[in-house]
Amino acid sequence: MFDVDNFAFKCFVKSMKKRTIFTILSAASILCLAAYTYNKEFEIAKNIEIFANVYKEINSNYVDETNPSSLMKTGIDAMLHQLDPFTNYISEVQIENYRLAFEGKYNGIGVRAKRIGDYVTVTEVYQNYPAFKAGIKVGDQVLAVNGQDGKGKESEDLFQIVRGMPKSEVEFTIKRPGTKEKLNLKLIRDEVNIPNVPYSGMVDSDVGYIYLSTFTENAGKNVRDALNKLKKDHPTMKGVILDLRENGGGLLSEAVDVSNVFVPQGQLVASTRSKLKEREQLYKTGNPPADPTIPLVVLINNHSASASEIVSGTMQDLDRGVILGQISYGKGLVQNTKDVGYNAKVKLTIAKYYIPSGRCIQSVKYENGEPVHLPDSLRVAFKTRNGRTVYDGGGVKPDVELPDADYPRIIKKLIEQDLIFNYCTDFCLKNPPPTDPKSFEFGGFEDFISYLKAKQFDDLDTLEVKLNEIQDLSKKEGDQTITESVSKMKNLLNQKQWSELTKHKILISNIIEEEIVRRSFYEEGSIQKKMVHDPIIKEALGILSDSQRYNKILSKP
């Protein structure tokens, strides 16, 4: 006979056992979590104490004098080096650089500079700011700032002094090329606001061009204003080029606003995912677009990163425009900054972002701090709105790829060694300035080659470096035959170097033209000159002038 009461009792016992086990397991889990939290907090506290003690001992007892700030920054940088390349410590002296990167402004005099030889040299002057008003020119060497000797100093060292409160005074001692006497100039600091849209205009009668250099504050508004002005001034405009080359990114909110210029209100542009659910967000466009249908070509290269990749990736995912150029950098991380006291900050990665197709373009592999792009076969495929295949895991791959648009290695060497810059400084001393940025032509290529030979230019070809090592070994071994053979091979490489330069005569002349024009017409003039001969802009024009080709690129294959 079935005993209901006995069965109920057994079920009750079983239920109690299960509850007891669950209670025990829950309690164990809580205890483990508490123990883990305690252990982690203890480890943090213990290691902070150890670090502080080591830091104090070094600063108190090390045989040589130490710089506490520099020592601490080195320690923090080493700690952050174990994370991704974009998590950084921003010390108090770097805070103006941070403002420039994210706000597009800083307190200073309005120049860019780098060390060339023994002294920091002015490489760009921004119009209508203190340096411009004081007559500082590109090529000026900074001998001293506020009486502090500039010899051997890096630009970062000097500009810690240069940057300061608006309306305060700073004194420069400079050496101008072509003059013997030193110039003493007193400048009044001001807030310098670097435009993020330094140029917009027409490439030809039908196609407009907008160059966005960085995603600082109001980038979306400025791109929108530029497009509206182009359309107002040229009612028959049939297409636009948005140039994001060399644009390393900036504010995520501005990437959404720039995208909003070309896509409808309410469109998802990016989403972020983090280990903390409260940090996961959807970023949608919030305003009506300036023009959701005008044919669009977006230019990118291997230095287009972060916010540039959000915009270009969104345009690609939505089939809103053709992406042209080189595969982008591959930075799909979201950073936030936290104050850590004494006007210092830490910029740390808090999430990854995903563009409309659902892909993340963050590179998955790095070598020496630089992303390594993987073949498509090792990346995950996604689909655009029209059904085209796109990939995650390392940058935005252009719809039309022009890998040869990057400078050849030998030209990079000319730029790295400042030979083009210094030659243009000499050229400007000997020749009248250009009268028009677009029509100026440089016809002195042979003179430039003579200049390089006088400066004993060496492109340091990889094979030549290895040959130098072999030659040194053969000399130590006393092997004259090998030494002579290596010398012959080096001579052949030297001849190849000069023939390689001649092969790139047109490209080198174009770069020289841009630099010379920049001296008289500043960044805007340099961009105008570049537009005349830039092969990628020419390719963009070809795409926009052929509606059948444009539509085919954006159609499902």
397: domain CATH number? Answer: 3.90.226.10
Give domain status of residue 77, yes or no.
Answer: no
Is there a single domain that holds both residue 432 and residue 395? no
Q: Report yes or no on 311 lying in a domain.
A: yes
Query: What CATH number corresponds to the domain at position 130?
Result: 2.30.42.10
Q: Is the dihedral of CA 221, 227, 229, 231 positive or negative?
A: negative
One domain for residues 126 and 216: no
| Per-residue model confidence as pLDDT tens digits over 324-373 | 999 999 998 877 778 878 778 887 888 889 999 999 998 877 666 677 77
Q: Are residues 440 and 367 in the same domain?
A: no
Task: Identify whether 125 is part of a domain.
Answer: yes
Instruction: Say whether both 246 and 126 belong to one domain.
Output: no
* Per-residue pLDDT tens over the stretch 32-68: 545 555 577 777 888 888 888 888 888 888 878 888 8
> Confidence class of residue 10 from pLDDT cuts 50, 70 and 90?
very low
226 & 111 share domain: no
Long-range contacts of range 460-464, CB-CB < 8 Å, 24 or more positions apart?
Answer: 460/413, 461/493, 461/496, 461/497, 463/493, 464/490, 464/493
* Highest mean pLDDT, choosing among 299-303, 350-354, 362-366, 474-478: 299-303
Residues 231 and 360 in one domain: yes
User: Is 365 part of any domain?
Assistant: yes
The neighbour count for residue 135, using CB atoms within 10 Å, is 12
Residue 414 inside a domain? The answer is: no
- Domain shared by 295 and 171, yes or no: no
Is 398 a domain residue?
yes
For 464, residues 6+ apart whose C-beta sits below 8 A from its C-beta are 458, 490, 493
Collapsing DSSP states into helix, strand and coil, what is residue 511?
helix
Q: Give 119's contacts (C-beta < 8 A, 6+ positions apart).
A: 141, 142, 143, 150, 151, 153, 175
Q: Tell which of 157, 178, 193 closes a domain.
A: 193
The domain in which residue 513 lies consists of 420-538
Question: What is the Cα–Cα distance from 151 to 117, expressed in whole angstroms?
Answer: 9
177, 193, 209 — which closes off a domain?
193
- pTM score > 0.85 for this model? no
**Has residue 325 been placed in a domain?**
yes
Question: Looking at the 3D structure of the chain, how many domains does it have?
Answer: 4
Q: How far apart are the first and last CA of the chain?
A: 74
Same domain? For 367 and 226 the reply is yes
At residue 11, the pLDDT reads 46
User: Which tokens go with 334?
Assistant: 């979201």
Asked whether residue 48 falls in the same domain as residue 144, the answer is: no
Closest CA to 439 of 542, 536, 540, 516: 516
Same domain, 188 and 137: yes
| 291 & 345 share domain | yes
Same-domain status, 335 and 296: yes
Asked, for residue 81, whether it belongs to a domain, the answer is: no
Say if residue 12's pLDDT is above 50. Answer: no
**Domain boundary residue among 193, 214, 230?**
193
